[in-house]
Amino acid sequence: MRAAAFAALTLTLAAPAAARDISLGIPIDCDLGRDCFIQQYVDHDKSRDAMDFRCSTLSYNTHQGTDFALRSLEQMRRGVNVLAAAPGIVGGTRDGMQDRLYRTGDSARLNGRDCGNGVRIDHADGWSTQYCHLKRGSVAVRQGDQVSTGTVLGQVGLSGRTQFPHIHMTLRKDGDVVDPFDPDGQIQCGAPSTEDLWQTPPPYRPGGILDVGFADAVPEFDEVKAGDAAAAQMSSDAPALVVFGYAFGGRIGDRMQLRIDGPAGVLVEQAVELGRNQAQFFRAVGKKRTTASWPSGRYTGTVILLRDGREVDRVQGTTMVR
């Protein structure tokens, strides 16, 4: 296949799309909002800033697609299928690229293959969908194959230019990017479009908590993202009890409130404010052990994400101390 099929393109939103001339299914086999979520949308801001179709910050400059993200690398390792969003013919594929977190300086290694392992499907009337960042060795279709809505294309991976496991789907009409959440591109802040191109429109979440867990020290962010940081059971002589919250869609001024309740009552409670917009982030609070041992029993961590004083999300996690 031609390498250009998966090259990064300059963002050009298409002319207004005729209503419902393509109808899309969800391109990932997961419970959306429960074990996967939409982290980024198409960028509608033509300046150096970014704006999603709800005039919010769930995008980044020139982002061309919709990112359906998993909660952890452990999920990716178990395997989550990528699905064709509409019927069509496979126009191109790529496989064999390594699954690894993108780091500064990796552009030369990628050599323009930012999409990583992927599939492009050509649909009727000039429509196409492109699926990026598939797991190495998972691509299950070949150029020329005919697919239906829901056909398995491969699995979610970490190939190409990405720092979290997700499937990036770009919709195009005659080569131009179309946002399936707002196909005419006529954004009116405060009045989201009533027209979209989804069979069942995914709910919009302005941010949320991905995981809550306990550890005996503040974990490294890579451990949190991998799903390896949380301990279901801890020793009574642990040097500290720490609760962490892992979240997405953070905005400057958001507050993450973290609290630990144990057998003796509230152990620690603290709110931390975000100083900048962050696609993914985590915060942690805890208490060092000052006695011979922690009281045995169940400890509950409660993490609340607050925006402008209102609750965006609330999640609890537990650990047993023995």
Per-residue pLDDT reduced to its tens digit, 12-36 = 455 444 445 899 999 999 999 888 9
Q: What is the pLDDT of residue 7?
A: 40
Topology of domain 3-178, CATH: Glucose Permease (Domain IIA) (2.70.70)
Fold (topology level) of 208-321: Immunoglobulin-like (2.60.40)
- Domain residue ranges in the chain: 3-178, 208-321
Q: What's the pLDDT at 9?
A: 36
pLDDT averaged per 10 residues in sequence order, the chain, 322 residues? 39 48 95 92 89 91 95 93 98 95 78 93 97 98 98 97 94 96 83 84 92 96 90 96 96 97 96 94 97 97 97 96 96
Query: What is the model's pLDDT at position 20?
Result: 59
pTM: 0.85
- Note the pLDDT tens digit of each residue in 155-206: 999 999 998 999 999 999 999 999 999 998 887 776 767 789 999 999 999 9
Strands 233-234 and 176-178 turn out to be unpaired
